[in-house]
Chain A
Amino acid sequence: MSFKKVTFLFLLTFLFQLSVVNLIEIKNAGPNLVMCMMIIITFLYEEGYRSIPFGIFFGLLLDICAGSYVGPCALSMFAVGIFAAACHVWLNVEKIITLIASAIISTVIYQVAYYGIMKTLGSPMGIEYAAKMLPVYIVYNVIVLVIMFLVMHKKAEEYHNDRYTNEEV
Chain B
Amino acid sequence: MNWLREHKLFSVIAGIVLVLCLVIIVSFLSAGGSSFIGRGTHKVVHVIETPLSYVTSGVRNTVAGVFRYSSLLKENEELKEQVAKLEQENKDLTLSKDDLNQLERLSGVFKFDPYKNKRSSIAARITEIDYSNPFIVFTVDRGTEEGIKNNSIVVDGNGLVGKVFDCGKGWSKVVSILSENNNVSFKVLRRTSVTGVISANSEGELSGYVMNDRAKIVKGDTLVTSGIGVYPEGIIVGKVSTVDYDEDRQLKVITVRPSVDFESLQKVAIFK
Interface residue ranges, A against B (CB under 8 Å): 15, 17-23, 25, 27-35, 56, 60-75, 78, 82, 110-111, 114-115, 117-118, 121-130, 133, 137
Contacts and interface: CB of A to CB of B under 8 A. Distances in A.
Contacts of A33: 132
B16 A126 contact: no
B147 interface: no
Contact of B41 (A61, A71, A128): A61
Given A22-B56, A67-B137, A122-B181, 18 more contacts: A15-B52, A23-B59, A25-B263, A28-B134, A28-B262, A29-B134, A31-B131, A63-B27, A65-B41, A65-B42, A65-B45, A67-B130, A69-B28, A78-B17, A117-B24, A124-B180, A125-B134, A129-B204
Given A66-B137, A125-B179, A71 B132 contact: no
A146 B217 CA distance: 51
Contact of A56 (B20, B52, B263): B20
Nearest to A24: B131
A29 B131 contact: yes
Given A19-B56, A64-B34, A129-B202, A75 B132 contact: no
10 contacts: A18-B127, A22-B53, A64-B41, A65-B49, A69-B24, A69-B32, A71-B23, A78-B20, A114-B133, A126-B203
A115 B49 CA distance: 26
B1 to A, nearest CB: 24
Contacts of B202: 124-129
Given A17-B132, A133-B134, A70 B27 contact: yes
Nearest 6 Cβ contacts at the A-B interface: A126-B202, A30-B131, A71-B24, A32-B132, A66-B130, A70-B27
Interface of B: 13, 16-17, 20-21, 23-24, 26-28, 32, 34, 38, 41-42, 45-46, 48-49, 52-53, 55-57, 59-60, 63, 127-139, 165, 173, 175, 179-181, 199-204, 262-263
Contacts of B134: 28-29, 115, 125, 129-130, 133
Contacts of A117: 24
A75 B38 contact: no
Contact of A22 (B45, B46, B57): B57
A66 B138 contact: yes
A117 to B, nearest CB: 7
Nearest to A35: B132
Contacts, number: 160
Contacts of A23: 56, 59-60, 63
B131 A68 contact: no
Contact of A68 (B38, B42, B175): B175
A70 B133 contact: no
A18 B203 contact: no
Contacts of A68: 32, 135, 137, 165, 175, 179
Given A19-B128, A68-B137, A123-B181, A75 B200 contact: no
Contacts of B20: 56, 71, 74-75, 78
Nearest to A20: B56
Given A30-B131, A71-B24, A126 B201 contact: yes
A28 B16 contact: no
A66 B129 contact: yes
A50 to B, nearest CB: 13
Contacts of A22: 53, 56-57, 60, 129, 131
Contacts of B200: 124-125
A122 B182 CA distance: 10
A21 B57 CA distance: 11
Which one of B24, B53, B263 has the greatest number of beta carbons of chain A within 10 Å? B24
A15 B27 contact: no
Contacts of B138: 66
B33 to A, nearest CB: 10
B131 A25 contact: yes
